[in-house]
């Protein structure tokens, strides 16, 4: 199935609107850019400093007359204001992700995720942006043991990263009420899909496992593999961003939403599914052994989202279960001539 073959913007003509995607060279950001350009947005501007994003993620868009790239850092207020000038909708994805990264370097995570976020709020306010949709995080649920996670019940944060994302929500709420700025937060749950980077110390688990399995390397699981997550395919996330940006439901604004499929999968189940999917391309992958290691600091045991609020207020209709999403993701990873070379250079 082609990516984003179903439009999520209803009858709206996107050519009438200008969008800013911060962190647009990253995994989620570049997918948002792809959707917006595919459906003819008036202008799609990207602000990225390439700290974690990749220029190759934007390569296919560089010759599009509706695309503009600003190389800059959200920690600089004037850069944020320049990027927001003439923009109708901001899709704010720029951040330093990763719980382990924030534990190792809490100061930089705070500078980017809190000070940078505040700069974008000020820029949106001062440049009269219609609405800002921002990437929140399921890490905000912290030590809450309630399942499924519902938006109005959170626990204490378990990492500096979680603190920064919760502070984002507090700032967004204050700006919404003080300055009448339209803001919507999206709590992402373990997003995966095309362009997600499998390399580096803080690689997301699915592309990292795929990369290792393709090289017949044993993936290392933190703990016994029974920790569970609500893995969420990228198409569902794009849908939520577009619907959140363009929704005309006044009750939907000034809210935060879970973005997930609403299905819990253990790491053991995930690996079994990945091995099955990858074995269709290379049967030897079926025999790769899994290694179990120590638990990782700051990890929550289980995560499962309720998406009822998003369904009710934003007409969210997630199309991809983890099974369907993994088929698409694996197909993407193995779709080039030199599979391992492509993965290693991704």
Catalogue the active-site residues: 161
Nearest to 299 by CA among 177, 159, 173: 159
Q: Is the dihedral of CA 120, 122, 127, 131 positive or negative?
A: positive
Report yes or no: 316 and 241 within 8 Å, Cβ to Cβ: no
Q: CA-based Rg of the chain, rounded to a whole angstrom?
A: 19
The whole-angstrom separation of Cα 346 and Cα 212 is: 13
The whole-angstrom separation of Cα 30 and Cα 37 is: 11
DSSP 110: H
> Token digits for 308?
């009822």
The whole-angstrom separation of Cα 31 and Cα 100 is: 25
Helix, strand, coil shares of the chain, percent, nearest 5, are 45, 15, 40
Count the neighbouring beta carbons within 10 Å of the beta carbon of residue 225: 17
Partners of 71 in the beta sheet? 48
The whole-angstrom separation of Cα 121 and Cα 212 is: 40
Report yes or no: 83 and 70 within 8 Å, Cβ to Cβ: yes
The whole-angstrom separation of Cα 170 and Cα 194 is: 31
Q: Is 338 in a helix, a strand, or coil? A: coil
- Strands (DSSP E) along 23-179, which ranges? 43-48, 67-71, 89-92, 131-137
């Amino acid at each position: 199935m082609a990516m984003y073959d179903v439009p999520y913007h209803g009858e709206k003509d996107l050519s009438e609107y200008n969008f800013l995607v911060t962190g647009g060279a990253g995994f989620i950001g570049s997918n948002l850019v792809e959707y917006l350009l595919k459906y003819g947005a008036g202008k799609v501007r990207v602000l990225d400093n390439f700290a974690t994003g990749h220029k190759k993620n934007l390569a296919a868009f560089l010759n599009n007359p509706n695309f503009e790239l600003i190389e800059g850092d959200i920690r600089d207020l004037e850069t944020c204001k320049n990027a927001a000038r003439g923009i109708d909708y901001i899709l704010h994805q720029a951040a330093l992700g990763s719980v382990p990264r924030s534990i190792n370097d809490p100061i930089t995570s705070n500078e980017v995720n809190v000070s940078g976020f505040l700069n974008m709020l000020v820029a949106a306010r001062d440049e009269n942006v219609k609405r800002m949709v921002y990437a929140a995080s399921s890490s905000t649920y912290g030590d809450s043991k309630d399942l499924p996670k519902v938006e109005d019940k959170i626990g204490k944060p378990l990492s500096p990263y979680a603190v920064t994302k919760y502070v984002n929500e507090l700032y967004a709420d204050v700006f919404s009420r003080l300055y009448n700025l339209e803001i919507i937060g999206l709590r992402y749950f373990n997003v995966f899909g095309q362009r997600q980077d499998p390399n580096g110390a803080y690689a997301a688990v699915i592309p990292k496992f795929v990369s290792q399995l393709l090289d017949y390397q044993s993936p290392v699981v933190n703990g016994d593999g029974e920790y569970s997550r609500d893995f969420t395919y990228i198409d569902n996330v794009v849908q939520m961003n577009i619907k959140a940006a363009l929704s005309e439901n006044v009750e939907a604004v000034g809210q935060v939403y879970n973005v997930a499929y609403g299905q819990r999968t253990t790491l053991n189940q995930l690996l079994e599914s990945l091995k099955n999917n990858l074995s269709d391309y290379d049967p030897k992958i079926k025999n790769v052994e899994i290694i179990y290691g120590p638990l990782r600091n700051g990890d929550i045991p289980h995560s499962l989202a309720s998406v009822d609020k998003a369904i009710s207020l934003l007409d969210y209709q997630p199309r991809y279960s983890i099974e369907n999403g993994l088929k698409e993701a694996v197909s993407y990873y193995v779709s080039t001539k030199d599979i391992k070379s492509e993965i290693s250079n991704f």
